[in-house]
Structure 1
């Protein structure tokens, strides 16, 4: 609406300017033609009077007649002449020409003051512009108020569309509009949003069904393999094959759980937000990992970070960061977790930086060839951070920058955006 008003304003100003200029030159030409027509008429009158009175001298400086011997054609010029009545020099339009009257050549000169015509012309143009300007002001505010009324349903529907949620059970409703195009737009958007809601519910149900249905057969397969390994007499080759198959099933179960978790995050299914302490979550995570690994995990706390988020996602966030550090740590070196300001850092040793550090948080990105790596751990970290507005980052500190022999992979989460 503002753009339409701005366009109307600019267009109107251009039209007013061009109209004023055009009117000025048109009226100027019209007045000049009238003056010249009057001059020719006055010249004819003077010539007629000369036929009756050869000694007529005219009325200087308006009309003048004098005898001459050289005939010439009519000449129209602008000239400056002193006007004794006005006691100043004035601009006149002058017509001069000769006429043979009773065997004698007479030079007849008639003049008309131009200043008066210029004043008339200026007054006409000024009044025209004033009328156009007042009409423009009236039309501008009329158009603005009219547009506001016409566009009100559009902006109202736009606000409803901004608040639209896929999780809402009720369909999106719009305010009716008198404009056909808006009516058609509202109709199509209602159809589209209803279809999106239906697709979202179907996809959500499909995701939950797939998760449930896959877990059961995988668990059965794993139980049967355990039974075969424990009860049947198998050789060493078969044992390794069954063990490998069991590992693949476990990895498939883990991959399924992580994909389901990503889908739930994207579908906004975590709404149990509460104020939690990142420090406490990290401490619990470290205690759990100490039972699973012999790697020394050290926590350095310089600040306490309290944040509003789903506790289960906070646990997943810390678990995935520490799991990634443990999995890719070199030579069982010490892992350092630092909490300072609004940041959480997880640091583990490494020989060199990643080949594609800008892709480290992308789904299924892996540089390690470990079979137990799904490539989803850090992508889940990124998805949780995006969900809550946190800022994840990665950098590598080379060994030349440190006193220790190994370089360091540093993964950091900045919680500042939600503090």
Structure 2
């Protein structure tokens, strides 16, 4: 998953990169354009000087030179005009300098002359560089000013959005607090505020309706199930029934108990989803495990072995802690034979429950899905481990499963991420 960037940082980076690119491109363009203009100007001066020298020779018939700027000499080898850059020694500077040189050949008064005029271009390069540096300096100063002005302006412009975002982060369906969003003079932000408030009200109403529906269904199911159970008990106690009828009635009782359990677990899952368990206490898991072991022993499950390496205490809802331990132990019992040992180990922040298994599960990745059963012969509701996973997710506990040395091993790390 890619790293997320804040909106202001994103827009500032875009402005920054765009500005730097603009400064570089404009400086390069200015440098080459200025160099071209200065070069053209130098060449124009060279042609002007050459023309004046030719006129002077024509009028006065005087051959003169001013090295290295002007050189005039008679020649018998007439060539084409040459315009080039050259490096020659400048006596006035006592060093080698870069010149722009124009060499022309002209017949003046019947005599062929080679007229060479030069102009120093070092100063032109320095001038172009100075112009570019000045341009960059002005751009950088203007850019820094605009950058901070733009950032400050954006922060002020987006302030209602960020405040409303914080409000949305704290929004809870279980809370009765009204969602008070900040209005903005920006049309889109104002419309977003209105839509969010409308959506939040609708979601809250739907949540309340669903919550009420779940509670009503759960409550209404309990009454007919209790009545059916009572009537079956009356039939068994008040009437003589055959062995076949007894088996059928017993099967019906088991189905009723399973339906009661299913209803209870669905209700528990719904309440967890709705964040209705908000009471946090320090629960002594070690004591809770001992209580559960005693309860299961009374039901003739005497193969539970508890090895507490350290006492285990966790901050969570007491009712959910009871469900968590009960479902894990019940799951191990359901998938074990009567005499097989079930081992429970607790460390400072770790719970491990293991039971014997003949083979690895076919689809271990589906273990914590609702209504998933590894075997069709298993009569469980398929919700026990789903509730365990939901409780762990609620408190950010890490639950894991592995098959190792003929053992199905479930472990819960109670250290929050």
TM-score between the two structures when normalised by the length of structure 1: 0.91
Q: Which one of the candidate residues 311, 314, 339 is aligned to 1:307?
A: 314
Give the C-alpha shift of residue 371 in structure 1: 6.0
Answer whether contact 2:301 2:338 (CA < 8 A) is retained: no
Listed as ranges, the matches of 1:187-226 within 5 Å are 187-226=194-233
Answer whether contact 1:295 1:335 (CA < 8 A) is retained: no
1:124 matched to 2:123? The reply is no
Listed as ranges, the matches of 1:85-164 within 5 Å are 85-164=92-171
1:410 equivalent in structure 2? 409
Residue 416 of structure 1 aligns to a residue in which SS? coil
With over 3 angstroms needed to count, the CA separation of the structure-2 counterparts of 1:320 and 1:62, relative to structure 1, is same
1:248 matched to 2:255? The reply is yes
1:78 matched to 2:91? The reply is no
1:62 matched to 2:61? The reply is no
* Greater Cα offset, 19-28 or 299-308: 299-308
Give the C-alpha shift of residue 54 in structure 1: 0.8
1:270 equivalent in structure 2? 277
1:175 matched to 2:208? The reply is no
Using the alignment, how far apart are the partners of 2:286 and 2:355 within structure 1?
A: 19
* Greater Cα offset, 259-268 or 97-106: 97-106
Task: Extract structure 1 runs of 4+ deviating beyond 6 A.
Answer: none
Q: Which one of the candidate residues 2, 5, 13 is aligned to 2:20?
A: 13
Residue 313 of structure 1 aligns to a residue in which SS? helix
With over 3 angstroms needed to count, the CA separation of the structure-2 counterparts of 1:134 and 1:234, relative to structure 1, is same
Answer whether contact 2:105 2:115 (CA < 8 A) is retained: yes
Using the alignment, how far apart are the partners of 2:378 and 2:362 within structure 1?
A: 19
Answer whether contact 1:79 1:93 (CA < 8 A) is retained: yes
Question: In angstroms, what is the RMSD of aligned CA positions?
Answer: 2.1
With over 3 angstroms needed to count, the CA separation of the structure-2 counterparts of 1:295 and 1:368, relative to structure 1, is farther
Give the C-alpha shift of residue 100 in structure 1: 2.3
Give the C-alpha shift of residue 53 in structure 1: 0.8
Using the alignment, how far apart are the partners of 1:367 and 1:79 within structure 2?
A: 91
Give the C-alpha shift of residue 116 in structure 1: 1.7
Using the alignment, how far apart are the partners of 1:391 and 1:84 within structure 2?
A: 86
Residue 416 of structure 2 aligns to a residue in which SS? helix
Q: For structure 1, which runs of at least 5 residues remain unmatched after alignment?
A: 399-406
CA deviations on 1:362-385 (whole Å, 9 max, x unpaired) are 221223455641111122122112
Using the alignment, how far apart are the partners of 2:108 and 2:341 within structure 1?
A: 128
Q: Which one of the candidate residues 47, 55, 63 is aligned to 1:48?
A: 55
Give the C-alpha shift of residue 258 in structure 1: 0.7
Using the alignment, how far apart are the partners of 2:338 and 2:230 within structure 1?
A: 35
Q: For structure 2, which runs of at least 5 residues remain unmatched after alignment?
A: 1-7
Answer whether contact 1:361 1:378 (CA < 8 A) is retained: yes
Residue 280 of structure 1 aligns to a residue in which SS? helix
* Greater Cα offset, 223-232 or 156-165: 223-232
Using the alignment, how far apart are the partners of 1:103 and 1:395 within structure 2?
A: 110
Give the C-alpha shift of residue 104 in structure 1: 2.3
Length, aligned pairs only: 410
Residue 112 of structure 1 aligns to a residue in which SS? strand
Give the C-alpha shift of residue 266 in structure 1: 1.3
Answer whether contact 1:79 1:92 (CA < 8 A) is retained: yes
Using the alignment, how far apart are the partners of 1:295 and 1:197 within structure 2?
A: 48
* Greater Cα offset, 278-287 or 252-261: 278-287
